[in-house]
């Protein structure tokens, strides 16, 4: 099982970050610009909800769906892949009060590559680096959007 983790401080309270990320109907907000995500299906944000997308990334097109496994608002959300390109994939997001109206957002992705040795080689050469880049880019985009929201833009 491979693990990728990234944390950053967002200049909104945990309640505001939770609302911003999960309740405003904009799951795609945190995706980097090179992702082309078309939401195919979703439902209310609660445990058991399945969200489906059609993802375009670096010339690849695939269907992706996750199920919401756990919610402890506004501190914690856990989703896992139901259908996708990995043998298994899970994202845990933790939102901790960081003082002065800010939040420490922690993302932890655990995944298992398909294709045995070939998949492990792809992980070593490409996937782990791209996963970290994706998490970093996601946090940067969330921080930018949060700043705009805080400044009324």
Q: How confident is the model at residue 25 (pLDDT cuts 50, 70, 90)?
A: low
Q: Which two tokens stand for residue 67?
A: 């199920």
- Give the pLDDT of residue 26: 65
pTM of the model: 0.88
Q: Are 47 and 69 in contact (CB under 8 A)?
A: yes
Q: Are 27 and 35 in contact (CB under 8 A)?
A: no
Calpha distance 143→132 (Å, rounded): 17
More confident residue, 100 or 45: 100
More confident residue, 149 or 4: 4
Q: Which two tokens stand for residue 114?
A: 């398909």
Q: Tens of pLDDT along 1-20?
A: 899 999 999 998 999 888 88
């Amino acid at each position: 099982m491979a693990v990728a983790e990234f944390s950053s401080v967002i200049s909104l309270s945990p309640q505001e970050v939770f609302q911003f990320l999960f309740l405003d109907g904009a799951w795609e907000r945190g995706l980097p610009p090179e992702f082309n995500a078309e939401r195919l299906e979703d439902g209310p944000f609660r445990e058991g909800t399945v969200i489906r997308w059609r993802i375009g990334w670096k010339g690849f097109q695939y269907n992706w769906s996750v199920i919401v496994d756990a919610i402890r608002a506004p501190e914690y959300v856990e989703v896992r892949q139901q259908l996708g390109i990995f043998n298994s994939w899970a994202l845990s997001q933790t939102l901790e009060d960081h003082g002065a109206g800010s939040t420490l957002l922690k993302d932890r992705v655990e995944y298992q590559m398909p294709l045995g040795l070939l998949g492990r080689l792809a992980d070593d050469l490409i996937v782990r680096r791209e996963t970290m880049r994706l998490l970093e880019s996601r946090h940067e985009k969330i921080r930018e959007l949060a700043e705009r929201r805080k400044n009324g833009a």
